[in-house]
Amino acid sequence: MSGRICRAAGAALGLIALSQPYAAYGQACVPQADLSAGIVYAMPLIVQAVEGRCSATLQTDGYLALQGDELKAKFAAHQDGAWPGALRLLGQFAGSEDPSFGQLMQSLPEDALRPFVDAIVIEKIGAEIKPRDCSRIERGLQLLEPLPATGTAELIAFLASMTKSKDIAICPTDGE
């Protein structure tokens, strides 16, 4: 998955941030577990965004056309459990958003936010995808298929921690 899509996912999640930023707790980095939860939560939405944006360029007998629903379902089965960590991840981005928007969103129950999160993630990810990248993104998603959902998310979070992204500081885990 391209860095551009990962940044878009983070930005989209940040748009509806509710919880206090980690910095408010004296923490300047995102725990890998919360990043992993955010990935698990967002992956079905990312696949949906890719399918929507790339429908005109991907083959009708390609991986997403034939197995995209299975890939989404594999991650969707873990979304409820990933929501608390994904919500904390949203909090990391809250400081840069409009405070009045954050206050409005804080007034809503967490479960009422999920449809907003979903719609915003799909929209933001879809907007970042260039049609010329669709086949490469599809290939990347296909490479994730044999891994379990949580293992995939943990691997992506680990790789993100190794790249030292300027967009998000990821906390080292024990032993790093």
Per residue in 127-158, pLDDT (tens digit) is 999 999 999 999 999 999 999 999 999 999 98
| pLDDT computed for residue 114 by the predictor | 86
The predicted-structure confidence for 67-83, as pLDDT tens digits, reads as follows 999 999 999 999 999 99
d(CA 86, CA 110): 11
d(CA 148, CA 125): 23
More confident residue, 14 or 51: 51
Count of alpha carbons within 13 angstroms of residue 118, beta-carbon side: 14
| pLDDT computed for residue 174 by the predictor | 66
Sole residue written with tokens 């004296």 = 26
d(CA 68, CA 44): 9
Tokens of 56: 């005109």
CB distance 88 to 25 below 8 Å: no
Show me where the domains of the chain are located.
3-163
More confident residue, 98 or 115: 115
Count of alpha carbons within 13 angstroms of residue 28, beta-carbon side: 1
pTM: 0.79
Asked if the model's pLDDT at residue 87 lies above 90, the reply is no
